[in-house]
Amino acid sequence: MTALPTLLVLDAEPPPRLGRLTGRARVVYTDEAGLAELLPGADVLLVWDFASHAVRSAWPGEGPRPGWVHTASAGVDHLMCPELAASDTVVTNARGIFDAPIAEYVAALVLAMAKDLPRTLEFQREREWRHRESRRVAGTRAVVVGSGPIGREIARTLKALGVTAAVVGRVPRTGIHGPDDLDRLLARADWVIAAAPLTERTRGMFDLRRFGVMQPSACFVNVGRGQLVDEDALVRALEKRWIAGAALDVLTSEPLAADSPLWRVPGLLVSPHMSGDTVGWRDELGAQFVELYERWVAGRPLRNVVDKQRGYVPGH
């Protein structure tokens, strides 16, 4: 009898629903502490705890390594290390699950900032009747930095609101601007959306100079990775009113400490990395992995294969 493949799950609550794999995989669950010991015996690693960095420290150890690693997230920076990048192991991600939810969340943030909803809620709590004028969204301009499926879906959603949206990617191609166009686009944008993966080229790309390029009426939104942004520079840009407002759904350090000054910066909306997390999203992630597992067992090509040197799924 052929032994079942061993599927090692770096677990988190609630656990994934893998009932369809009953009798088709030997499923072993582990936490961060047990990962290094169990890696050599695994054929497949499911990184269900996508907030964990345990893979980066456990992977360089002794013994064989799984031939396939899947992370239940769009980004792979939390698990990538030089040894994994140089190996023959195939890495896949959760591309496709978060595109529409994140795009909706960005649209909600744009509308909230344009219509001054945060201050409306503040005035309501204070029982203060204060009439103001708000901004029109239709006819404004946005630049979306990140040309993957999430970035392109954000652009499509904003266009439905009447926003002219330009997308900037790593290389220029039809419908996508290259990095050389970014500063020019930033200088004209009303909305700047960061949705790029975290790589050495994108780390800290939104710095003091970039915020200085933006016009005073511009608002900045980050739904990519916290490390895309120099947070001290953003705070200064808001305090000096170089830009009109900002929203961060991802931060350099998560969860954000209660004593962090970011909670109190005027014009800054902070949310707890929730832009892609809609009702039922974990079930979608689990179903996606099961479908990929079925392809793997059948010897069919896997979808969502990450270029480990670039840090994302290429060709889109």
Active site residues: 225, 254, 273
Q: And the tokens for 261?
A: 């000054």
Among the listed residues 73, 20, 83, the one whose alpha carbon sits nearest the alpha carbon of residue 47:
73
**Separation of alpha carbons 174 and 118, rounded Å:** 38
Whether the Cβ atoms of residue 290 and residue 72 lie closer than 8 Å to each other: no
Place of tokens 């009798």: 23
**Residue 142 parent element (H or E):** strand 141-145
**Separation of alpha carbons 42 and 31, rounded Å:** 14
- Which three-class secondary structure state does DSSP give residue 199? coil
**Separation of alpha carbons 135 and 25, rounded Å:** 55
In total, the chain counts a number of residues equal to 316
